Amino acid sequence: MSLLGLILLNLRCHAIRTTIGAVGISFGVATMLCVVTLLGGAIRMFERILSSDSELIVFERNVSDLFFSNVPVETVAEFEDLPFVQNAEAVLFGIVSSENNPVITCFGVGPEAARLRDAEWLQGASDRFTNDSERVLLGERAAAFLKVGAGERVPIGRAEFEVAGVIRTANGFEDGGVFMPLPLAQRFFRKEGVASVVMVKLREENQRRQFKDYVQTNHENLTALENEEFSQNYSQFRILKITAWVVGGCAFLLGGLSVANTMIMAVFGRIRELAILRVCGFSRWQIAGLIVGESIVVALLGAVVGILLSRLALGLLKSLPFLQGYVEVHLEPSMIGVVVFLAVLTGMLGALYPAIYGMRIRAANALRFE
Amino acid sequence: MSYENGKIPVLHEVDLEVQRGSLVAICGPSGCGKSTLLHLIAGLDQPTRGQVLHDGQSLHRDRDLTLLLRSRIGLVFQLHNLIADLTLTENCLIPAIAAGLPKGEARLRLARLTTATGLQHRLGNRIQDLSGGERQRTALCRALMNDPQLILADEPTGALDEDSREQVFALLVDLVRSAGRTLIMATHDRSLADRCDRVVEMKDGRILS
Report ipTM for this prediction: 0.89
Q: Is residue A57 part of a domain?
A: no
Q: Show which of residues 150-189 on chain B sit within 8 Å of chain A, judged by CB atoms.
A: none
Closest CA to A300 of A18, A5, A31, A14: A18
Q: Note whether A67 and A215 are same-domain residues.
A: yes
Q: Note whether A318 and A175 are same-domain residues.
A: no
* HSE-up (13 A, CA, CB side) for residue B104: 0
* 3-class DSSP assignment, residue B160: coil
Q: Using the 3D structure, point to which of A220, A252, A267 is the last residue of a domain.
A: A220
Window from A9-18, A30-39, A94-103, A310-319 with minimum mean pLDDT = A94-103
Residue A51, pLDDT > 70, answer no
Candidates A273, A280, A364; nearest CB to B39: A364
> Which mean pLDDT values do the consecutive 10-residue runs of chain B (209 residues) have?
86 90 91 90 89 83 82 87 91 93 92 88 91 89 92 85 81 85 91 91 88
Calculate ∠ Cα A111-A116-A121, nearest 5°: 110
Q: Note whether A146 and A185 are same-domain residues.
A: yes
Helix crossing, B162-178 with B132-144: angle to 10°? 10
- Which pLDDT score, from 0 to 100, does residue A336 have? 87
Distance to chain B for A1, nearest Cα, Å: 6
Q: Residue A197: which pLDDT band, with cuts at 50, 70 and 90?
A: very high
Contacts of B103 in chain A (CB under 8 A): 1-2
Residue A323, pLDDT > 70, answer no
A12 touches chain B (CB under 8 A): no
Q: Is residue A52 part of a domain?
A: no
Instruction: Report the residue of chain A nearest B97, measured CA to CA.
Output: A2
Is A14 in contact with B85 (Cβ distance < 8 A)? yes
Give pLDDT tens digits for A205-227. Answer: 888 899 999 999 999 999 998 87
Q: Residue A370: which pLDDT band, with cuts at 50, 70 and 90?
A: very low
The whole model's pTM is what?
A: 0.74
**Cβ burial A216-230 (10 Å sphere, 16+ → b, else e):** eeebeebbbbbbeeb
Give pLDDT tens digits for B59-115. Answer: 777 777 888 888 899 998 888 889 988 999 999 999 999 999 999 999 999 998 898
Q: Which domain holds residue A182?
A: 62-220
Within 10 angstroms of residue A151's Cβ, the number of other Cβ atoms is 13
B90 touches chain A (CB under 8 A): yes
Residue A322, pLDDT > 70, answer no
Q: Residue A324: which pLDDT band, with cuts at 50, 70 and 90?
A: low
Domain residue extents for chain B? 3-207
Is A6 in contact with B35 (Cβ distance < 8 A)? no
Give pLDDT tens digits for A243-267. Answer: 888 888 888 788 788 888 888 888 8
Q: What span, in angstroms and rounded, lies between the C-alpha atoms of B116 and B111? A: 8
- Which pLDDT score, from 0 to 100, does residue A74 have? 93
Q: Is residue A51 part of a domain?
A: no
Candidates A9, A10, A280; nearest CB to B95: A280
- Which pLDDT score, from 0 to 100, does residue A306 have? 92
Residue A369, pLDDT > 60, answer no
Q: Which parts of chain B fold into alpha helices (H)?
A: 34-42, 62-67, 88-99, 103-116, 132-144, 162-178, 190-193
Q: How many domains does chain A have?
A: 2
Task: Supply the mean pLDDT for chain A.
Answer: 86
Q: Note whether A66 and A41 are same-domain residues.
A: no
Q: What span, in angstroms and rounded, lies between the C-alpha atoms of A34 and A318? A: 11
Give pLDDT tens digits for A103-146. Answer: 788 999 988 887 788 888 899 888 888 888 889 999 988 898 88
**Cβ burial A12-30 (10 Å sphere, 16+ → b, else e):** eebeebbbbbbbbbbbbbb
Is B63 in contact with A272 (Cβ distance < 8 A)? no
Q: Is residue A229 part of a domain?
A: no
The answer to whether B83 and B135 are in contact (CB under 8 A) is no
Give pLDDT tens digits for A343-368. Answer: 888 889 889 999 999 998 888 778 76
Q: Note whether A210 and A100 are same-domain residues.
A: yes
Give pLDDT tens digits for A328-345. Answer: 777 788 888 988 898 888
Q: What span, in angstroms and rounded, lies between the C-alpha atoms of A113 and A220? A: 27
Pairing relation of β-strands A178-181 and A194-195?
A: unpaired
Residue A169, pLDDT > 80, answer yes
Q: Residue A321: which pLDDT band, with cuts at 50, 70 and 90?
A: low
Q: Which CATH superfamily is domain B3-207 in?
A: P-loop containing nucleotide triphosphate hydrolases (3.40.50.300)
Over pLDDT 70: what percentage of chain A? 96
Q: What span, in angstroms and rounded, lies between the C-alpha atoms of B202 and B124? A: 41
Q: Show which of residues 264-293 on chain A sit within 8 Å of chain B, judged by CB atoms.
A: 272-273, 276-284, 286
Closest CA to B127 of B170, B173, B94: B94
